[in-house]
Structure 1
Amino acid sequence: MVALDEPLPYVGVTPMQVLTAIVVLIVGYIVAKVVVASFKRGLKKTKLPELVVEFLGRFLSALLYVAVILLAVRALGIEVGSVVLGLSAVIGLILGFGMQDTLTNLAAGVWIAALRPIDIGEVVEVAGKVGKVNAVGIMSTELLTADNVLITIPNKLVWGNVITNYTRMPTRRVDVNVGVAYGTDLDKAIKVAMELMQNHPKVLKDPAPAVVVTELGDSSINLQLRAWAKTEDYWTVKFDLTKGIYEAYRREGIEIPFPQLDVHIKEMPK
Structure 2
Amino acid sequence: MESLSQSLISRLKDYFNAEKMGLVLGEILIETLIAVSILSVFYLFWRIIKWIVGRRLEERFDKTSAAFAEAVIKFTIFAIAIISALGAAGVKTDALLGSLGVLGLTLGFALRDTLSNIVSGILIFLDRPFTINDLVEIDGKYGRIDRITLRTTRVVTNDGKMLAVPNAEIMNKTVTSYTNFPHLRIDVGVTIAVTESIDLARKLLLKLVKDDPDFMQQPLPVVVVTELNDYNVVLELEAWLQDERRHIEKRCEIREKIFRTFTKEGIDMPYETIRIVPRNECVSLADDGKNSMT
TM-score by length of 1: 0.66
Query: Is this contact kept in 2: 1:43–1:53, CA < 8 A?
Result: no
Structure 2 runs not aligned, ≥5 long: 50-69, 92-100, 282-294
* 4+ long deviations beyond 3 Å: 1-6, 29-57, 91-94, 261-268
Q: 2:115 aligns with which of 93, 103, 106?
A: 103
Query: Is this contact kept in 2: 1:180–1:257, CA < 8 A?
Result: yes
Partner in structure 1 of residue 144 of structure 2: 132
Partner in structure 2 of residue 224 of structure 1: 236
- Provide the rounded CA distance (Å) in 1 between the counterparts of 2:114 and 2:74: 11
Partner in structure 2 of residue 202 of structure 1: 214
Structure 1 runs not aligned, ≥5 long: 7-14, 69-87
Deviations 1:173-210 (A, max 9, x none): 12110001112122222222222222222221100011
Residue type of the alignment partner of 1:116: R
Deviations 1:1-53 (A, max 9, x none): 994989xxxxxxxx99xx9xxx9xxx8x9999879857755764456749847
Q: 1:123 aligns with which of 122, 131, 135?
A: 135
Partner in structure 2 of residue 245 of structure 1: 258
Residue type of the alignment partner of 2:262: Y
- Provide the rounded CA distance (Å) in 1 between the counterparts of 2:77 and 2:113: 16
Query: Aligned Cα RMSD in Å?
Result: 4.3
1:63-82 equivalences under 5 Å are: none
The alignment partner of 1:133 has SS state of strand
Query: Is this contact kept in 2: 1:105–1:140, CA < 8 A?
Result: yes
CA 1:193–1:43 in 2, change beyond 3 Å: closer, same or farther? same
CA 1:218–1:161 in 2, change beyond 3 Å: closer, same or farther? same
**Is 1:147 equivalent to 2:159 in the alignment?**
yes
- Provide the rounded CA distance (Å) in 2 between the counterparts of 1:164 and 1:41: 43
Partner in structure 2 of residue 84 of structure 1: none
Partner in structure 2 of residue 79 of structure 1: none
Figure out how many residues of one structure are paired with residues of the other and give that number. 233
Q: 1:169 aligns with which of 157, 178, 181?
A: 181
CA 1:261–1:5 in 2, change beyond 3 Å: closer, same or farther? farther
Residue type of the alignment partner of 2:118: L
Query: Is this contact kept in 1: 2:42–2:77, CA < 8 A?
Result: no
The alignment partner of 1:204 has SS state of coil
1:223 is displaced (CA, Å) by 0.3
1:245 is displaced (CA, Å) by 1.4
Query: Is this contact kept in 2: 1:40–1:54, CA < 8 A?
Result: no
Residue type of the alignment partner of 2:170: V
Q: How many percent identity over aligned positions?
A: 27
1:88-99 equivalences under 5 Å are: 94-99=106-111
